[in-house]
Amino acid sequence: KPLKLSLATEEIATFYAKMLDHEYTTKEIFQNNFFNDWRKIDCGSSLAVLHAQGKPLKLSLATEEIATFYAKMLDHEYTTKEIFQNNFFNDWRKEMTPKEQKIIKRLDKCDFREIHKYFVDKSEARKALSKEEKQKLKEEADKIQEEYGYCILDGHREKIGNFKTEPPGLFRGRGDHPKMGMLKKRIMPEDVVINCSKDSKIPEPPAGHKWKEVRFDNTVTWLASWTENIQNSLKYIMLNPSSKLK
């Protein structure tokens, strides 16, 4: 039967689905490692623990994800600024469950160091990969680039400048921006406007989703657009500067 997945579980499922035609997914060790980590997410198992009021606290998936955005920046100057801290905490509390809101009332009572260490260790492990392992990761990235990084323009294959939407995270801005620390929300297919030719194959949205709109406007050069939630400004997927279309 069709199963509606949580956002986090669905996202990880797509990682595996995109590799179905790859040899990796036929290997038992790959399948087992993927499934074990996937079940941790599905069951709401935390990768690292936030400490609040001096005690370890089990977080909901949405709250935990936003906590990781802050934890990753602990060694950055931004997290020392009061406006950043206040904006982050205000947006973070909006995403908490009622139970979490009763417990987490002050940012200075939260200890993100364990979560921060988790990502530092993960980064170090990636740096320590063998030459062969790094080459495999590069090949996977190249495969994604080959599949999604090009479009057809007037019969010519053209490279796309950046084919990825901006990931969720915390807004930084320039200088002491008044909105620094606010939550940049995840861009969903329902937020995205696709622009292509009427006779082209319209890109398929992820299963269970739909595009906000599909346009056939040949007077503009962007291929997709969405509105980011911090300053309500439009963002675009454009052709690479080397494209013949200037």
Average per-residue pLDDT in the chain? 87
Residue 136 included in any domain: no
How many domains does the chain fold into?
2
What's the pLDDT at 225?
A: 97
What's the pLDDT at 13?
A: 80
Residue 12 included in any domain: yes
- Which residues make Cβ contacts (< 8 Å) with residue 59, sequence separation at least 6? 46, 50, 67, 100
Burial of 154 (C-beta count, 10 Å sphere; 0-12/13-18/19+): exposed
Instruction: Give the lowest-confidence range in 17-26, 68-77, 139-148.
Output: 17-26
What's the pLDDT at 77?
A: 94
What's the pLDDT at 242?
A: 78
Residues 120 and 159 in one domain: no
Residue 134 included in any domain: no
pLDDT band for position 1 (cuts 50, 70, 90): low
Q: Is the pLDDT of residue 47 over 60?
A: no
Share of the chain above pLDDT 90, in %: 58
- Which residues make Cβ contacts (< 8 Å) with residue 131, sequence separation at least 6? none
Residues 118 and 181 in one domain: no
Residue 146 included in any domain: no
Range of the domain at 54: 7-127
Nearest to 74 by CA among 114, 106, 47: 114
User: Residue 187 and residue 14: Cα distance in Å, rounded?
Assistant: 15
User: Mean of the pLDDT values across residues 157-176?
Assistant: 92
User: Mean of the pLDDT values across residues 64-73?
Assistant: 95
User: Residue 215 and residue 77: Cα distance in Å, rounded?
Assistant: 42
What's the pLDDT at 7?
A: 59
Residues 157 and 194 in one domain: yes
**Phi, psi values for residue 161, rounded to 5°:** -60, -60
CATH of the domain at 173: 2.170.11.10
User: Mean of the pLDDT values across residues 208-235?
Assistant: 95
Residues 83 and 14 in one domain: yes
Helix (H) or strand (E) holding 110: strand 110-111
User: Mean of the pLDDT values across residues 107-124?
Assistant: 92
What's the pLDDT at 43?
A: 43
Residues 106 and 157 in one domain: no
Nearest to 57 by CA among 8, 95, 109, 94: 109
What's the pLDDT at 46?
A: 46
Q: Is the pLDDT of residue 4 over 70?
A: no
* CA atoms 20, 21, 26, 30: torsion sign: negative
User: Mean of the pLDDT values across residues 90-114?
Assistant: 94
Residues 33 and 72 in one domain: yes
Residue 176 included in any domain: yes
Residues 12 and 117 in one domain: yes
Share of the chain above pLDDT 70, in %: 91
Pairing verdict, β 193-195 and 224-227: antiparallel
Q: Is the pLDDT of residue 34 over 50?
A: yes
Residues 121 and 12 in one domain: yes
Q: Is the pLDDT of residue 42 over 50?
A: no
Residue 244 included in any domain: no
DSSP label of 239? B
Residue 103 included in any domain: yes
What's the pLDDT at 48?
A: 55
Residues 94 and 29 in one domain: yes
Q: Is the pLDDT of residue 22 over 80?
A: no
Query: Quick check: 190 and 169 in contact, CB under 8 A?
Result: no
